[in-house]
Structure 1
């Protein structure tokens, strides 16, 4: 099994292979009457699927690089039996050394992308529910936001059939909704021109309009719009917090709350410079240059007028996440003064977010997948140079050196953690992996929880650390492995059973302990004693959330210099 885990890790980042691959003509159909029209979906294996339902006008032509416009036209009888479209994707570079070339080519194959029908006309919803659900069922709703580094992804990748069937078997049926949102340069293009035009953070605005669509339409599918839990992984997890913090914490629509709880798997706050920062402008200028718009009086309008392939290639000309620059992302949510009034870390500290019950956690070795691309980092000085030039351009070299110095140079201290001197393909790999994982995921989670507990001490939260892939060579319990283990349950062991049970209980009661089966450990709130539920493949235990405390304190004290 272990020999297959590198491809599976890539699948976890880029999405998992859908299991609903039976030809459509072999499936039964089912229909739902909504305010938009009659949605005709498919039924298979006890789950009904309605995909590709538009919630906004096609963001094409002059609507490219503009906020979504709510769809108001009647759809009549609409064929929702397929998987729905995918928004334009940012594929990974296949240039460079052998490792980068191999990984890039693997990720660009249908096996790992599993994305078809890419089109700008992609702002759609996918709804899945137990077969036979009636309009008056009032089932709770999971609202899924896919991950993919804000560069790729689609609801196509995430078939909730097994999740829904498991929920039914536990007596907790639910509706699963996934939103399609613009990614890459189509959804998160930065730059001063973008800011001035009000065209920033379009992907987040797409997600928000998808949540509003749920309020208007989910009752027709048997869902309860007052019982929505937003859930995401990686960039989707970061998006969950961003939805909590959007408009400074305003999460109402037509006087109702858009959601009541949240689950964040690998991601929370990402300290970020504003949309018009110097690095941001470099991304914008590169896209403009590649699109042939440098000489235009209105470069943003020129991008809107460019043909699809020209803009796609231009948007994808900047570095992607599986590259040397790693998680110093070209495209990500950034403060724009309106949708995101400030950097997410500041919004968390000042309580400008929706105070909802939440589950938040990480994989033990979040950084290993992103540290595969820097084999030239052989000394501590190289590592300091890397973070100074690629990540933290506001920090002094002395500050970066101090940060690096909080991480031991001993191989036994790095990630994958607890593996001694093993799993080090190049001299600084384990140290870099530990730092990337902590800065973007693990320690930023702890700092977020500390801020959230201070701002809203009465709001419950539960946190975890997943270790169920301990022993996987090089990668450990890697970023994205929860998609394989938890979402799809590829290995139907204690970890998948326990986590799904916690999530179903949380969906129903906003407490993961209410209604979980016997044999599943009690999960204490994080604020009680700052403990994590440490989950292995066959058991779980409580773990004090105080590891790498020196690094965590340094990050907290210097957060303003660590914006990307």
Structure 2
């Protein structure tokens, strides 16, 4: 892992940690009905916080690697005052051929160190934030956050939400904020034929869906309106937003009513993937089984369920992770299973098999830079073709991959960080690989999706953007995840954070980013003239969504070959 990426990973949690001061002596209480319980929270800085509310039975023991089960009965009182436990994390691979990171990973998975990070299997809980003193009859719109982290990392404790709620109050558009934990890595997205046959694929998506059902059942008690829910996510969370739109071929109803009425996708949408039981998925399962010592078992899945926590965690983390050489050629991600995701998300999008709700979608200008930091051995064009063919695209021919790479002809025009000429080239193919990984995973895939949406659902409104506020950052530019500090927390109170807060909250309230955005410039629907809102630190501008058009046209003609 590069020193730059290590620094980012080390400092972000410290910056994101939310202060907890000025607590009132008596915490706010809410009585919920499904299940019956009184939830006791804390209040600070004019925000009521309820932490770690269970929404499912613990996915432990025989419930490991099984769909989440709703809670029928619970304690009469839920003390929701302490930080919630995180789901098991996949930070570094425990693959013994990858030294010394495998040793670091093994140590990090020892329970005493996991306890420091407050991680464990019994993690299916959610947090609620609301303006202090909100009454049950307030009927405020609800914003449900789904965290990112490559389906390997992430926690609701990192994304506190209190600052965003405070911002919503100051802008006259108060909201209820909800964030749910969902299972990650091999705990939530283990692929393989055995998993598919067991009906236990894409468990993390089922966790998210059950949390949304909890919101439908209980958010009114907190002062929220269950008919005015918007789901919002970044990176894997944004991919999850589209997956929730596409689950069950677009059926987002529960007890006859929609679970959400809008979506916001920051840096992610359709993650095109081969099936759960495909070649890559089966290889991941077989590797986990072997490293778990279960390869001789008659029922390998039952063997995995019977392992102690640390042994299963190390086995699940023995495949390549996103913070390594394989980068976004992810081992764990939602894959078509024929039931929840009946086809690859790109195919569902093209056929209009997703919920007809308005949405906002956009990217950071340099999405791929942080994912191209560790491949310094790639010095030639053939090296990049080999890399993509070996680790990423099993269905694409070598000629197709070669032709794709050839569309990135000149790093002055096609290299990321974009608009920096020949500078910031960390190694000979860095800027080229950064552009390719960013475009295929996020930026141009977004344009493919928007054109699918325009054809499949022309009457559904949507808006798109590109953020360029970190343009001067060496090597990284406006990198993937840089919007978390700028947008989610609004740490820098500049034009970018202020305007996006106004646009997003207007969307949450009116399903239109312009209706309540005040004096900020009009943000046209993408369908009008395919324009993006381009966010800078001190202003916004409209940008035609036609950059790197040659690559886009190649992708649209060959998209089915580029499933991960």
1:452 to 2:453 alignment: yes
- 5+ long unaligned stretches in structure 1: none
- Residue 341 (structure 2) aligns with: 340
Q: 1:547 to 1:268 in 2, by over 3 A?
A: same
Match of 2:29 among 31, 40, 43: 31
Contact residue 189 and residue 331 of structure 1 kept, 8 A: yes
Could you tell me how far apart the structure 2 residues matched to 1:51 and 1:468 are? 33
- Residue 539 (structure 1) aligns with: 539
- 5+ long unaligned stretches in structure 2: none
1:126 to 2:131 alignment: no
Contact residue 240 and residue 268 of structure 1 kept, 8 A: yes
- Pairwise CA distance, 1:199: 0.4
Secondary structure, counterpart of 1:33 in structure 2: strand
> 1:508-551: per-residue Cα shift (whole Å, max 9, x none)?
00000011122x11100000000000110000100000011110
- Pairwise CA distance, 1:413: 2.9
Could you tell me how far apart the structure 2 residues matched to 1:23 and 1:551 are? 53
> 1:292-347: per-residue Cα shift (whole Å, max 9, x none)?
10100000000000010110000011111011110000000000000000000000
Could you tell me how far apart the structure 2 residues matched to 1:362 and 1:265 are? 6
Contact residue 14 and residue 153 of structure 1 kept, 8 A: no
Tell me the matched-pair count.
554
Contact residue 266 and residue 363 of structure 2 kept, 8 A: yes
Q: 1:158 to 1:11 in 2, by over 3 A?
A: farther
- Pairwise CA distance, 1:128: 0.5
- Residue 60 (structure 2) aligns with: 60
- Pairwise CA distance, 1:75: 2.1
Q: 1:413 to 1:509 in 2, by over 3 A?
A: same
Q: 1:191 to 1:6 in 2, by over 3 A?
A: closer
Could you tell me how far apart the structure 2 residues matched to 1:338 and 1:115 are? 38
- Residue 314 (structure 2) aligns with: 313
Could you tell me how far apart the structure 1 residues matched to 2:269 and 2:221 are? 32
Secondary structure, counterpart of 1:29 in structure 2: coil
Let me know the Cα RMSD of the aligned residues: 2.4
Could you tell me how far apart the structure 2 residues matched to 1:85 and 1:235 are? 20
- Residue 188 (structure 2) aligns with: 187
Scaled by the length of structure 1, the TM-score of the pair is: 0.94
Question: Which deviates the most, 546-555 or 89-98?
Answer: 89-98
Could you tell me how far apart the structure 2 residues matched to 1:227 and 1:12 are? 35
1:482 to 2:480 alignment: no
- Pairwise CA distance, 1:456: 0.7
Could you tell me how far apart the structure 2 residues matched to 1:481 and 1:96 are? 32
1:555 to 2:555 alignment: yes
- Pairwise CA distance, 1:12: 8.9
- Pairwise CA distance, 1:162: 1.2
Could you tell me how far apart the structure 2 residues matched to 1:508 and 1:461 are? 15
- Pairwise CA distance, 1:31: 0.7
Secondary structure, counterpart of 2:204 in structure 1: helix
Could you tell me how far apart the structure 2 residues matched to 1:310 and 1:232 are? 31
- Pairwise CA distance, 1:425: 1.1
- Pairwise CA distance, 1:27: 5.9
Secondary structure, counterpart of 1:156 in structure 2: coil
Secondary structure, counterpart of 2:127 in structure 1: strand
Q: 1:115 to 1:217 in 2, by over 3 A?
A: farther
- Pairwise CA distance, 1:410: 3.4
Could you tell me how far apart the structure 1 residues matched to 2:145 and 2:264 are? 10
- Residue 304 (structure 2) aligns with: 303
- Residue 426 (structure 1) aligns with: 427
- Residue 389 (structure 1) aligns with: 390
Contact residue 141 and residue 224 of structure 1 kept, 8 A: yes
> 1:247-301: per-residue Cα shift (whole Å, max 9, x none)?
1000000001000000000000011000001111111011101111010000000
> 1:485-521: per-residue Cα shift (whole Å, max 9, x none)?
0001121110000001100100000000011122x11
Contact residue 141 and residue 175 of structure 1 kept, 8 A: yes
Q: 1:96 to 1:20 in 2, by over 3 A?
A: farther
> 1:38-58: per-residue Cα shift (whole Å, max 9, x none)?
000000000011111111111
Q: 1:272 to 1:86 in 2, by over 3 A?
A: same
Could you tell me how far apart the structure 1 residues matched to 2:64 and 2:12 are? 27
- Residue 145 (structure 1) aligns with: 146
Could you tell me how far apart the structure 2 residues matched to 1:104 and 1:374 are? 20
Contact residue 366 and residue 479 of structure 1 kept, 8 A: yes
Question: Which deviates the most, 406-415 or 509-518?
Answer: 406-415
Could you tell me how far apart the structure 1 residues matched to 2:292 and 2:509 are? 49
Secondary structure, counterpart of 1:185 in structure 2: helix
Could you tell me how far apart the structure 1 residues matched to 2:199 and 2:540 are? 47
> 1:161-207: per-residue Cα shift (whole Å, max 9, x none)?
11111110111111000011000000000000000000000000000
- Residue 117 (structure 1) aligns with: 118
Contact residue 412 and residue 419 of structure 2 kept, 8 A: no
Q: 1:353 to 1:327 in 2, by over 3 A?
A: same
Could you tell me how far apart the structure 2 residues matched to 1:530 and 1:119 are? 45
- Residue 529 (structure 1) aligns with: 529
Scaled by the length of structure 2, the TM-score of the pair is: 0.94
Could you tell me how far apart the structure 1 residues matched to 2:99 and 2:300 are? 37
Contact residue 414 and residue 548 of structure 2 kept, 8 A: no
- Pairwise CA distance, 1:462: 0.4
Secondary structure, counterpart of 2:221 in structure 1: helix
- Residue 505 (structure 1) aligns with: 506
> 1:463-504: per-residue Cα shift (whole Å, max 9, x none)?
000000011000000000000100011211100000011001
- Pairwise CA distance, 1:416: 0.1
Q: 1:550 to 1:468 in 2, by over 3 A?
A: same
- Residue 170 (structure 1) aligns with: 171
Could you tell me how far apart the structure 2 residues matched to 1:258 and 1:305 are? 35
- Pairwise CA distance, 1:18: 1.8
- Residue 249 (structure 2) aligns with: 248
Could you tell me how far apart the structure 2 residues matched to 1:540 and 1:457 are? 26
Could you tell me how far apart the structure 2 residues matched to 1:303 and 1:98 are? 25
Contact residue 91 and residue 323 of structure 2 kept, 8 A: no
